[in-house]
Structure 1
Amino acid sequence: MSTPSTPDPFRGRRPTSHERLAGVPWDDSYRDGPAPWEIDGPQPAVVRAAAAGEFTGSVLDAGCGSGDNALRLAELGLSVVGVDVAETALAAARDKADALGLTVEFAAVDALHLEQLGRTFDTVLDCGLFHTFDGAERRDYVTSLAAVTARGGIAHILCFGDEGDDLGPHPVSRADLIAAFDTGWTVRRIALERVMTRFHPDGASAWFATMVRA
C-alpha cells in the first residue's frame, strides 16, 4: 500500500527574480552553512524598533529565514508567525524556538501569496525581502501584504537602500518604496538605516520604512 504524499505548498511557484539571477532556489542559501544575511541574531534595527514599541498585537514576519527576528519579538511576549519558502530555514527556526522554549508558528508560505494564511495581522515585518523582488514582483508583493495586514495595521520594511556608503545587492530607492505602496497604504516614515550581513559587519545602507494599511 502506498503512502499518500504530502502536498507541495509551492507546486507551480515561479522562481523570483532573485532566484532566476542566482540560478538556485532560496532553500540552497541555507544548505551549506549560514546564508549571507544570517548574523546569528536579530537585526539591530528590528531590536531598536521593538524596544520603541513599534511592534504590537499579532505579528507576521514575512521571509523570516531561520527565525532570529521572529524569536526576538516572541521573547517580548508578542504572538508571532514566521513564513518563508525555504524549508531548510524553517526547520532551523523551529529548532531555535524549541531550544529557547518559545512558541512561534513557522509556516511554508510564498510571500507573493500571503492570502493563503487566511488571517490578518496587526504588524508585519519584512526584513530583507522587498529588495529581492523586481518591479513587477513588488506590486504583487504589496498586494499580498495588504491581504494579511489589518486595516490601520503597520508594515515595517527593512531593505537595502541606494544612499550612503557600502551598498548591498539589489538596492532600492526611496521612490521605489513610495511607488510600490502608492495604493491602499500611507507612508508614515522612510528613514536611513543599516542592515547587517556576513559581508557588511558595519552594515549596508538601508531604508527602514513604516507603512500604514488604509
Structure 2
Amino acid sequence: MSRFSPEFFDSVYRETPPWDIGAAQPAILALLDEYPPEGPALDVGCGSGDHVFALAGRGVQVLGIDVVEAAIAQARARAEALPPAVARLLEFKVGDALHPTLLQRRFGAVVDSGFFHLFEQDQRDRLADELEATLLPGGRYYLLAFAVEFPMPNTPLKVTEDELRARFTAERGWRILEVRPAQFESRIAPVPAVAACIERLRG
C-alpha cells in the first residue's frame, strides 16, 4: 500500500510541493535525451505538469494523469500560456495513475518522476503489471525514484537498482536499457535517487 492519502496531496498542492521545482527533473531529461521516446506518452502522477510540458516541447503527444484535482487544475492553467503548437500536443486528466489500463489506451512511453516510490511492494508489483499492459511493444518506461528512505510519515519509500532488475526481467517481458544513480531535485535539497529506462520487449 501507499503511505500517502489523497488528503495529504490535496493539502500539499494548496501551496507549492517541495518536489515541484518549476521544471522537469534533469535526470529524466537526460534519459529522454539518451533514449528518445516514441509517442504517445503518458506521465503517471504528473503533478503540475513539468514533464508533460517537456515531452510536448520535444514534439511528443502526451497525456498527464494525476488523482489530485488541484494539481491538474494548476497544470491546465500553466498550459494556457504555451505556444499553440506545443499546447495541442498535451492533455491532462484527473484519474488513478496506479491503474493506467483504465484509460483504455496504449502508449509508446511512460514517464514516472516520483510516483513508483510512493508505494509498498505489492502495489509496485501491480503497477509493473499495469505498465506491461499499457506500453506498446518497444515502448519505454522512464523512472526517477528516491534511493533512500526517511524515518518519518509522508515521505517516499526507497527504490534500489537490485529491486528494479529483479522486477523488470526479460522473463516478464522487459529489457533494462539503463539504471544508474541520480539526484532527485527538490526545493529543499537534492535527494539520492535511482534513474532507469526500461523497454517493453517486442512480442
Return the match for 2:36 from 43, 54, 57: 54
Q: Equivalent residue for 1:17?
A: 2
Q: Equivalent residue for 1:199?
A: 188
Structure 1 runs of 4+ with >6 Å offset: none
**Contact 2:64/2:92 (8 A) holds in 1:** yes
Partners of 1:53 and 1:136 lie apart in 2 by 29
Which AA in structure 1 matches 2:174?
Answer: W
Q: Equivalent residue for 1:105?
A: 91
TM-score between both structures, scaled by the size of structure 1: 0.82
Q: CA deviation at 1:186?
A: 1.9
Q: Equivalent residue for 1:28?
A: 11
Q: Equivalent residue for 1:186?
A: 175
Partners of 2:166 and 2:9 lie apart in 1 by 26
Q: CA deviation at 1:123?
A: 1.0
Which AA in structure 1 matches 2:13?
Answer: Y
Partners of 2:32 and 2:200 lie apart in 1 by 19
What secondary structure does 2:105 align onto? coil
Query: Rg bigger for which structure?
Result: 1
Q: Equivalent residue for 1:128?
A: 114
Which AA in structure 1 matches 2:40?
Answer: S
1:55-105 per-residue CA deviation (whole Å, 9 max, x = no partner) reads 222111111000011101111111011111111000100111111131311
Partners of 2:164 and 2:7 lie apart in 1 by 26
Structure with larger RCO (C-alpha < 8 A, sep 6+): 2
**Contact 2:107/2:135 (8 A) holds in 1:** yes
Question: Counterparts in 2 of 1:53-202, with a 5 A limit?
Answer: 53-101=35-83, 102-103=87-88, 104-162=90-148, 169-182=156-169, 183-200=172-189
Partners of 1:143 and 1:65 lie apart in 2 by 23
Q: CA deviation at 1:160?
A: 0.9
**Contact 2:43/2:111 (8 A) holds in 1:** yes
**Contact 2:28/2:142 (8 A) holds in 1:** no
Partners of 1:197 and 1:80 lie apart in 2 by 24
Change (3 A) 1:64 1:110: same
Kindly tell me the number of residue pairs found equivalent between the two proteins: 190
1:7-60 per-residue CA deviation (whole Å, 9 max, x = no partner) reads xxxxxxxxx52215xx844322212x1111100111112223333452222111
Which AA in structure 2 matches 1:93?
Answer: A
Unaligned runs of 5+ residues in structure 1 are 1-15
TM-score between both structures, scaled by the size of structure 2: 0.86
The alignment-based identity, stated in percent, is: 36
Which AA in structure 2 matches 1:19?
Answer: F
Q: CA RMSD in A?
A: 1.9
Partners of 1:137 and 1:38 lie apart in 2 by 24
Q: CA deviation at 1:173?
A: 1.4
